[in-house]
Chains A and B, each alone.
Chain A
Amino acid sequence: MMNKMALLALVALLAVLPPVSHALGTAGCNGGYPDGNCEIGESCDCSDCWGLNPPESGGATFCDASKFQVCLPEDGKPPGDTSAAHKCRAPPAWYQPEVERVAGNWQVWGPISALAVLIAMLVVALAYMLGIGFDLPELRMWAKSELYQALASAVLVAGLVMLVAVMTDEGIAKILGQAINPFSMAYGYLLPLAEQLKSLYAWNYGINFPVEAFSSLDLYSNATLTDIYFLFFLKPTIVEPLHLANHYVIQVLLTIYFQVAILNFFQQAALGTLLPLGVFLRIFPFTRGTGGLLIAMAIGFFLVYPTIFGFITLMTEDENALRASMAGDTSSTLGVDVATYNACDHNLEAAAGEAEKQTDPAILSKINERYSFLPPLILKILFYPIVVFAVTFTFIKVASPLLGADISEVGQGLVKLL
């Protein structure tokens, strides 16, 4: 008995401690301190007065310095509005727009799901009555098990609605920290690569454009019925390798943007569409498998898929070094300087001779160097994302049976597709 009372007292103390400590801490947080009033441009030394950490600087308050706050105008006012009262508060979190959108969807789906749970219970009750009426023990057993499933669905609906509420209340920021944005990590892996490739494409294009123009220079004579392209050797030596390089660049760029589009789609669809739809479908026995699968997909593609990109970023080589090496080389223009061709002087023989010199093996090897980075890049764009997909599908495959779905055969189809 005493043990139970002690336990209860402990739980009550733990429940009361944060608000009390917060209130105590807040009382002292004034003027440029967390949760206190501030002026525009004034810093907020530490973010939250939980009474857990000593003050960061000077103040007599106990603040958690790890929680960053900035001086922002009151709600509904734009930043920099001098007429509005300013207060130290946490900046809008990365997930805020997403959470608001998801919360908006749940305002529709929450009542629908609750209604569906009630309907499911009604059907179960009816089935139970029929089971008794027709003396069908199997139907009665089924009704009982379905009642448990309906209750589980109710718990799931309530739990997910609460999850959204917790996220809206910055719970995720408190758990993960605001700097962690899985989708930023994924975009941060793909988009810099796209930018590098676009600059490489532009560079190749810039080099190729005048060279290809010169390669089309010809001398024709109607009297002898001849048409000589005397700079045509530029085509196989410079123009075609650069075309080939840009062809690969386009292919890789396309793959990158395809993955960016997939990320973008799931960023918008996972919590806002797949999750509520999955919860709704999971309520009914015939659609339980589909619902469970959709829930697993929503979690997998919103959390696992982008997060694994972050881990992949840590595994791969330094992006900045690759970018620097490419940027540093662009000024050399491969050693092909079209100004030295002197083609405009109509000294065609000299131009041809100069061009021959410009396409010596050293220059060709430089061209090869220009796209020798493509194989590792293809590794980054094709192989690693396949690993990310594999991990995500593994998660979905493992999580979906827990939620009532069995996708072993569908999963095999996915693997075959990959």
Chain B
Amino acid sequence: MKWERAAMACFLVLAALAFSGCVSGAGGKLAPVQVCASDPAAQLAAEGHYLATGNGSFLAIWGAWQNVIVTAVLIILLVCGLVYAISNAIAYRNLTVWAQSQMYEAFATLVFAFLIVGIVSWMCGVDARIVGATCDPACGPNGCGCSVFKVADDYLSQFNGEISKAWWAVAMANMAIAALSTTVFSVGASGLGTTIGLGPGLSQVSASMSSALIMIGIAQLLTIAQLELLRLSAVLFVYLLPAGIVLRAFGITRGFGGGLIAIAIGFYLIYPLSIVFMYGLVDSQIHNQVGGAPGGSDESTWQQQASGPIVGWMCGLVGTILVGAAVVPFITFIIVVSFVRGLSQAIGEEVDVSNLTRLI
């Protein structure tokens, strides 16, 4: 029975290693897992991208961390094995059970680590177009192919670009209206005369558009913050996941390590996934609305526009932008938090979500 268990354990380790894409390198060292850059040409094109190679990338750091994780697990197995042997020798039943459970947990941690890396590698290879995402697989600033990470980055960048277009459309309209509002008619001679403003009534429209510009600016800030969070979560993943796995290997820090793993996975995998599903719709909606920007070549046209159509267009545009910049991130936040909570409950200590929601 013991031999069967040992064989099964070996099989599991080998399966996990194979699933994670790790190969044996020179000198018995495990070669680093390539994340989102399996194709050499794509890797070359994505050089410097946050998901590919370069200093601080997952590719560079994971190789070193793998050794740390394996060493930590081996130490635990060694210590627990020793404890197990001693407890058997002195017939101390409680200690035997403790050592046994610690060995199982350490082993589970090892398997878990490679499974996570396997899932990440798998997600990098999955073409997001199969779930309806629109993507150009050609190499660009965000990398090559149509992985979930690239599509998420593309979608947010596209949304950010649409907000910029919207800002310029409103700003140009505001500029024209503000300029017309200063038109003055003057009659006089020898330093004596009278003037009358022909378009000061447009100033109220201009003021409203200035407020709209502020809101669009805030929306852009929120969107850029999301883009940064998306990129930051990749960087965080590089550090949080290995640290979480190492901490989870030890009994005292198991809960904390599980929480770190959950946060790393939640922000690195679930966050871009939710962006892919949500922002495809928002991008098309806002694109259509920006295209309907008002315009005119004479004052009368602008006056007609200012009396109603421009207000409706502006409010509709700002409303859609706010949905994309505030409501959709809120939904993605709920999805991520819900996932982190569930996973942290399962593999470690539950992340205190109520503290996160207090931030709101």
Q: How far is the CA of A213 from the CA of B180 in the complex (A)?
A: 12
Most buried by B among A213, A214, A412: A213
Indicate whether A273 sits within 8 Å of B282 (C-beta atoms), given known contacts A202-B307, A212-B201, A213-B197.
Answer: no
| Interface pair B208/A410, CB less than 8 Å apart | no
Contact stretch, chosen from B25-33, B35-43, B64-72, B315-323: B315-323
A169 / chain B contacts, CB cutoff of 8 Å: none
A258 / chain B contacts, CB cutoff of 8 Å: 318-319, 322-323
Q: How large is the interface on A (under 10, 10 to 19, 20 to 34, 35 or more residues)?
A: 35 or more
Tell me, rounded to whole Å, the shortest Cβ–Cβ distance linking A160 to chain B: 16
| Interface pair B201/A198, CB less than 8 Å apart | no
Q: Is B297 an interface residue (CB 8 A)?
A: no
Q: Is A409 an interface residue (CB 8 A)?
A: yes
Q: Is B252 an interface residue (CB 8 A)?
A: no
Partner of B328, one of A136, A265, A405, A407: A265
| Interface pair B201/A265, CB less than 8 Å apart | no
| Interface pair B346/A286, CB less than 8 Å apart | yes
Contact stretch, chosen from A78-86, A90-98, A290-298, A377-385: A290-298
Indicate whether A269 sits within 8 Å of B204 (C-beta atoms), given known contacts A109-B131, A201-B308.
Answer: no
Indicate whether A261 sits within 8 Å of B312 (C-beta atoms), given known contacts A220-B188, A286-B339, A293-B334.
Answer: no
A217 / chain B contacts, CB cutoff of 8 Å: 194-196
| Interface pair A410/B270, CB less than 8 Å apart | no
Chain B proximity mask over A187-214: 1 for CB below 8 Å, otherwise 0: 0000000100011011001101111111
Indicate whether A410 sits within 8 Å of B357 (C-beta atoms), given known contacts A205-B307, A254-B315.
Answer: yes
Partner of B306, one of A112, A205, A269: A205
Q: Is A243 an interface residue (CB 8 A)?
A: yes
Q: How far is the CA of A26 from the CA of B279 in the complex (A)?
A: 48
| Interface pair B341/A289, CB less than 8 Å apart | yes
Q: How far is the CA of A406 from the CA of B353 in the complex (A)?
A: 12
CB contact list, A322-344 vs B, under 8 A: none
Q: How far is the CA of A410 from the CA of B8 in the complex (A)?
A: 41
Tell me, rounded to whole Å, the shortest Cβ–Cβ distance linking A369 to chain B: 20
| Interface pair A198/B311, CB less than 8 Å apart | yes
| Interface pair A205/B205, CB less than 8 Å apart | yes
CB contact list, B290-328 vs A, under 8 A: 303, 306-308, 311-312, 315-316, 318-320, 322-323, 327-328
Chain B proximity mask over A125-149: 1 for CB below 8 Å, otherwise 0: 0000010011110000000000000
Chain B proximity mask over A397-418: 1 for CB below 8 Å, otherwise 0: 0000000011101101110110
| Interface pair A407/B334, CB less than 8 Å apart | yes
Indicate whether A297 sits within 8 Å of B191 (C-beta atoms), given known contacts A205-B205, A289-B339.
Answer: no
| Interface pair B338/A407, CB less than 8 Å apart | yes
| Interface pair B201/A210, CB less than 8 Å apart | yes
B278 / chain A contacts, CB cutoff of 8 Å: 269, 273
B343 / chain A contacts, CB cutoff of 8 Å: 286-287
Contact stretch, chosen from A65-73, A171-179, A245-253: A245-253
Q: Is A161 an interface residue (CB 8 A)?
A: no
| Interface pair B327/A265, CB less than 8 Å apart | yes
Partner of A285, one of B199, B335, B346: B346
Most buried by B among A210, A220, A256: A220
Residue of B nearest to A104 (CB): B132
B198 / chain A contacts, CB cutoff of 8 Å: 213
Q: How far is the CA of A264 from the CA of B284 in the complex (A)?
A: 12
B215 / chain A contacts, CB cutoff of 8 Å: 254
Residue of A nearest to B308 (CB): A202
Residue of B nearest to A297 (CB): B331
| Interface pair A287/B339, CB less than 8 Å apart | yes
Q: How far is the CA of A410 from the CA of B201 in the complex (A)?
A: 47
Q: Is A43 an interface residue (CB 8 A)?
A: no
Chain A proximity mask over B1-43: 1 for CB below 8 Å, otherwise 0: 1001100100010000000000000000000000000000000
| Interface pair B8/A222, CB less than 8 Å apart | no
Q: How large is the interface on B (under 10, 10 to 19, 20 to 34, 35 or more residues)?
A: 35 or more
B130 / chain A contacts, CB cutoff of 8 Å: 108, 112
CB contact list, A271-325 vs B, under 8 A: 273-274, 277, 285-290, 293-294, 297
Q: Is A218 an interface residue (CB 8 A)?
A: yes
Q: How far is the CA of A258 from the CA of B320 in the complex (A)?
A: 6
Residue of B nearest to A245 (CB): B204
Q: How far is the CA of A52 from the CA of B127 in the complex (A)?
A: 53
Q: Is A359 an interface residue (CB 8 A)?
A: no
Q: Is B342 an interface residue (CB 8 A)?
A: yes
| Interface pair A257/B308, CB less than 8 Å apart | no
| Interface pair A134/B5, CB less than 8 Å apart | yes
Q: Is A163 an interface residue (CB 8 A)?
A: no
Most buried by B among A136, A215, A253, A285: A253
Chain A proximity mask over B177-208: 1 for CB below 8 Å, otherwise 0: 00000001000100111111111111111011
| Interface pair A221/B191, CB less than 8 Å apart | yes
CB contact list, B144-200 vs A, under 8 A: 184, 188, 191-200
Tell me, rounded to whole Å, the shortest Cβ–Cβ distance linking A295 to chain B: 12
| Interface pair A256/B308, CB less than 8 Å apart | no
Chain B proximity mask over A33-77: 1 for CB below 8 Å, otherwise 0: 000000000000000000000000000000000000000000000
Q: How far is the CA of A199 from the CA of B357 in the complex (A)?
A: 41
Q: How far is the CA of A358 from the CA of B86 in the complex (A)?
A: 103
Tell me, rounded to whole Å, the shortest Cβ–Cβ distance linking A52 to chain B: 42
| Interface pair B342/A289, CB less than 8 Å apart | yes
Q: Is A223 an interface residue (CB 8 A)?
A: yes
Q: Is B277 an interface residue (CB 8 A)?
A: yes
Tell me, rounded to whole Å, the shortest Cβ–Cβ distance linking B264 to chain A: 13
Q: How far is the CA of A170 from the CA of B247 in the complex (A)?
A: 56
Q: How far is the CA of A202 from the CA of B306 in the complex (A)?
A: 8
Tell me, rounded to whole Å, the shortest Cβ–Cβ distance linking B174 to chain A: 13
Q: How far is the CA of A257 from the CA of B318 in the complex (A)?
A: 8
Partner of A130, one of B8, B201, B323, B356: B8
Q: How far is the CA of A95 from the CA of B214 in the complex (A)?
A: 38
Which B residues are closer than 8 A to A by beta carbons?
1, 4-5, 8, 12, 104, 130-132, 184, 188, 191-205, 207-208, 211, 215, 270, 277-278, 281-282, 285, 303, 306-308, 311-312, 315-316, 318-320, 322-323, 327-328, 330-331, 334-335, 337-339, 341-343, 346, 353-354, 356-358, 360
Which A residues are closer than 8 A to B by beta carbons?
105, 108-109, 112, 130, 133-136, 194, 198-199, 201-202, 205-206, 208-223, 242-243, 246-247, 250, 253-254, 256-262, 264-265, 268-269, 273-274, 277, 285-290, 293-294, 297, 348, 405-407, 409-410, 412-414, 416-417
Please give 5 more A-B residue pairs, beta carbons under 8 A apart, in addition to A198-B308, A273-B281: A209-B303, A253-B315, A261-B320, A262-B327, A287-B270
Per CB-CB distance, the 3 closest pairs between chain A and chain B, nearest first, are: A413-B357, A222-B191, A209-B201
- A and B contact pairs by CB, cutoff 8 A, 6 listed: A205-B308, A209-B201, A253-B312, A254-B215, A258-B319, A269-B278
